[in-house]
Amino acid sequence: MAQMTVETGGVHVRVPAKINLALAVGPMSDDGYHRLATVFQAVSLYDEVVAIWADAGEVSCSLTGEIIGVPADSSNLAVRAAELLRQRYGGPDRDELGVHLTIKKAIPVAGGMAGGSADAAGALLACAVLWDIDADPDDLRELGALLGSDVPFALTGMTAVGTDRGTHLAPALTRGTYHWVLATSDKGLSTPAVYQRFDELGLARTGLLEPDVALLTALASGDVEAVGAALSNDLQTAAISLRPSLGELLAAGKDAGALGAIVSGSGPTCAFLTRGENEAVDLSIALSHTNLATGIKRVAGPVPGARLLS
């Protein structure tokens, strides 16, 4: 399967964006990261990564799509992912391995939807196949956690509970498909800046960090209204404090009938849950009239994580 894909012009992988349906954040640990209890859902908005052989030792990338602010050099997270895979799993012939990655971006940059992590996850999978590397999904997730907190989930997808830095994953039972409207901004928010504001505001939870039981129960029974009511994000106040218009955007979505409205991760993308596809169309029209968002997208979840496209 891998060989066939290589011969037809590279290994092609697509990777979904994520929404955090719940995000409980504790204090910062000694490693500089906050401990989390989160519920991730992967949604049908994808970046694509194509890996083709390059000269021995070369690891490079080019970018297409929504790429403003994304580096195309060795600091690109996908390039770092390929390099890390080569070093750790390339074996004695690692110096012979080379790759050029073409990354087609649709996930908003610095948008709170793990676009950079998606590209890293895509690069890990595509290069593992291209180079015929013997690494199982757990190996890739472990490498992914070294690159970014959301990379293991981008490999896994569906709906999952994430703990520690968001890197320890357990599947969450869900029924049905959830229809979301995403309101995106062409001006990103820096994740470290949002966490810093979170700390400045003294918002870290002091008690036990646990995924929200009401949300998990609602997901397991497919009760979309209860899921909407249980959405929560501890970073939301910090994101709104840095970008006050997000508060207006969330209120506009609720006024227009969303069952739940939330900043996705560190923002500024906002996610609105609707009862079904028709309601999502109606809500996207209403939100596009507010001029509070640069882009409106309709997506559904859960969807699988990084996958080969044949």
Q: Work out the widest C-alpha separation in the chain, in whole angstroms.
A: 60
Nearest to ligand C5P of 102, 149 (CB atom)? 149
| Start-to-end C-alpha separation, the chain | 8
Nearest to ligand C5P of 111, 148 (CB atom)? 148
Check if 18 is active-site: yes
Task: Give start and end residues of each alpha helix (H) in 131-223.
Answer: 137-147, 151-156, 191-200, 213-221
Question: Using CB under 6 A, which of the segments 42-50, 90-98, 125-133, 142-150 binds ligand C5P?
Answer: 142-150
Nearest to ligand C5P of 148, 157 (CB atom)? 148
Scanning residues 172 to 201, which ones bind ligand C5P (CB under 6 A)? 191-192, 195
Q: Pick from 191, 173, 142, 183: which is nearest to 33 by CA?
A: 191
* 10 vs 241: CA distance, rounded Å: 44
Q: Three-state SS for 182?
A: strand
Nearest to ligand C5P of 34, 179 (CB atom)? 34
Task: Catalytic residue, from 150, 212, 234, 297: name it.
Answer: 150
Task: Give start and end residues of each alpha helix (H) in 201-244.
Answer: 213-221, 224-230, 236-242
With binding defined as CB under 6 A, does residue 145 bind ligand C5P? no
Identified binder of ligand C5P from the candidate list 34, 86, 105, 197, rule CB under 6 A: 34
- Retrieve residue 164's tokens: 């520690």
Question: Using CB under 6 A, which of the segments 4-12, 29-37, 270-278, 297-305 binds ligand C5P?
Answer: 29-37
CA torsion sign for 289, 18, 41, 19 is negative
- Retrieve residue 242's tokens: 């840095």
Task: Catalytic residue, from 18, 104, 105, 297: name it.
Answer: 18
CB-based closest residue to ligand C5P: 149
Identified binder of ligand C5P from the candidate list 2, 26, 33, 139, rule CB under 6 A: 33
Could you give the dihedral angle defined by the CA atoms of residues 235, 212, 167 and 239, in that order, rounded to the nearest 10 degrees? -10
Nearest to ligand C5P of 31, 73 (CB atom)? 31
Say if CB 291 and CB 176 are below 8 A apart: no
CA triplet 29, 42, 169: central angle to 5 degrees? Answer: 40
Question: Using CB under 6 A, which of the segments 33-41, 59-67, 82-90, 250-258 binds ligand C5P?
Answer: 33-41
Scanning residues 235 to 254, which ones bind ligand C5P (CB under 6 A)? none
* 161 vs 140: CA distance, rounded Å: 18
With binding defined as CB under 6 A, does residue 149 bind ligand C5P? yes
Q: How far is the CB of 117 from ligand C5P (least distance, A)?
A: 6
Check if 297 is active-site: no
With binding defined as CB under 6 A, does residue 166 bind ligand C5P? yes
CB neighbours of 223 closer than 8 A, spacing ≥ 6?
A: none
Q: Which residues are catalytic?
A: 18, 150
What residues line the site for ligand C5P (CB under 6 A)? 33-34, 36, 148-150, 165-166, 191-192, 195
